[in-house]
Amino acid sequence: MSLPDRRAQRRESTHRAIAAAALQLIVEQGAEGLSVAELARRAGVSRRTVFNHYSSIEKAAVAQTLWELDELSETIPLPQIPDDAALPVVVARLVEAFVLSPASLELILRLSALSRELRSHPAVAQWGQRTVEHAVGILTERTAHLRPGADPLQVRILCLSLVAACAAALDDPALCAGPGGTPSEDIGQLRERTLGALRLLAGLPPDLGAPADSG
């Protein structure tokens, strides 16, 4: 590996380490009183290095959130969908695949709880919107693989509607323990509520989410 390649690799590693530490810091301490010095300590870098990579702790945490969504999406295969399935069903099945993935649902729940706790904080007020837009982008790309000729506007409308429905189904403080985790029995209940929201919007049959690996 050449010297420029090693430098780029080190920079990317530092970039990711700062982002991961930033998200963990916010999970543990909330958005009040965040310390760049503490972030630098956790990431094993200097304060100057933190600002060389990100303009704020919040932006670093958002970057980590979007990376986690990307990495999870790569582990979830495209579902098998009949060629004659209507577009709303196609998009709903794609969302269903994320909801049925334990790792994906755990991340979604953690981000939902975190966004709920931080929604009144001005520095992170747009956190949820950035996450939704990124999720819609992932779903749009996956829809294009299955229905390359679909109207982009219709796809975006469906993706936004279904993601919003999932967010509404998951927005239950009584069931979400917080960004640190949600009990498994509550996760199951939230999953069923979310699948119900998909059925409602897409007109899907009651057996949505019935496969054995949905637990």
Query: Tell me, what's the pLDDT at 153?
Result: 94
For 71-127, the pLDDT digits (tens) are: 989 999 999 999 899 999 999 999 999 888 888 888 877 777 677 666 666 666 667
pLDDT at position 1 over 60: no
Q: pLDDT higher for 35 or 120?
A: 35
Between the CA of residue 196 and those of 64, 169, 189, 205, what are the distances in Å?
30, 9, 11, 10
Separation between Cα atoms, residue 79 and residue 101, nearest integer Å: 12
Angle formed by the axes of helices 57-75 and 127-146, nearest 10°: 20
Please tell me the predicted confidence (pLDDT) of residue 123. Answer: 60
Instruction: Enter the pTM of the model.
Output: 0.78
The mean pLDDT value for 19-35 works out to 84
Closest CA relative to residue 99, chosen from 181, 177, 214: 214
CATH assignment of 1-61, among 1.10.10.60, 1.20.1290.10, 1.20.1560.10, 3.80.30.10 = 1.10.10.60
Average pLDDT in the 177-190 region? 62
- Residue 46 has a pLDDT of 95
Secondary structure (H, E, C), 39-76: HHHHHCCCHHHHHHHCCCHHHHHHHHHHHHHHHHHHHC
Q: What is the pLDDT of residue 209?
A: 46
What is the structure's pLDDT at 120? 64
Q: Which residue ranges make up each domain of the chain?
A: 1-61, 76-210
Which range of 1-10, 93-102, 145-154, 181-190 scores highest in mean pLDDT? It is: 145-154
On the question of pLDDT at 206 being above 70, the answer is no
